Amino acid sequence: MTTAACTILEERKDMLVLILRGKVQTVSLTPYTEVKYKHFNGNRIAYRFSEEMEVQETYDDGIFNCSYKTAQMQVRKRDSIAEAILDHYRCGSASAYERLFQQEYADRNCIDLLKFMLAGYRQRLRFEEKSNDEETIYIDNNFKVDRHGNAYVKDDHKYRRICIVVQGNLSETGIETPIGRIPLDETALTILAKTTFLLNPNLEDEVFRRQMPSQMLAALEEQSGGKAVSASP
């Protein structure tokens, strides 16, 4: 039996008063502190939703080793995990945990998922991955789209940011992965839509045309309907 690491003295509307490590302390009442101190007596949180889904808090408070089917990852969204635990504890539903894990999986594997979806254009694309925040897709050495969905055009050997209005509805786009079908988040959808547009730009789009360097626009017009080539020297 696990020994209680804390004793709750009083529960108020927005805080808990407790004895923790031999001292009286107050902590804000959040989903995480509710689970941590009311359900696990201040000890590390360990919760199993099913045979394929469980979380184990590390020795650092609020950091969890999470598993879902065949995938494992470390997640730091303490309140989101706690809310998923409370949902399952109260009504038996693990859907909140499934959504959380899938969102984290899609975010961390965004570029790999996009590589798979854009595999038919691999000869025209180059993926550069310095870190999760600096992943970039280069298109024909003319354009690039960064990890945040910002698009750029190469202008005089430097990349200049441009505005692209994404057309259509990609909200239902998803991809099959080892842990099942994963819906792409808004940022991934934006990256996908802008990359697809820049692979075959709509040259009748006046907003797009006005942002193009004259040499680039002339090259795109010449190649319209044919194989794209770099306008760079």
**Inter-residue contact 41 to 34 (CB < 8 Å):** no
DSSP annotation of 72? E
With a CB cutoff of 8 Å and minimum separation 6, the contacts of 107 are 185, 188
Q: What is the pLDDT of residues 59-87, one digit of tens each?
A: 999 999 999 999 999 999 999 999 999 99
What does the pLDDT average to over 130-134?
A: 67
Q: Is the pLDDT of residue 209 over 60?
A: yes
Q: Which of 162, 160, 117, 122 is closest to 139 using CA atoms?
A: 122
For the whole model, what pTM was predicted? 0.75
For residue 232, the Cα-to-chain-centroid distance in whole angstroms is 33
Q: What is the pLDDT of residues 165-200, one digit of tens each?
A: 877 666 667 888 888 888 888 888 999 999 999 999
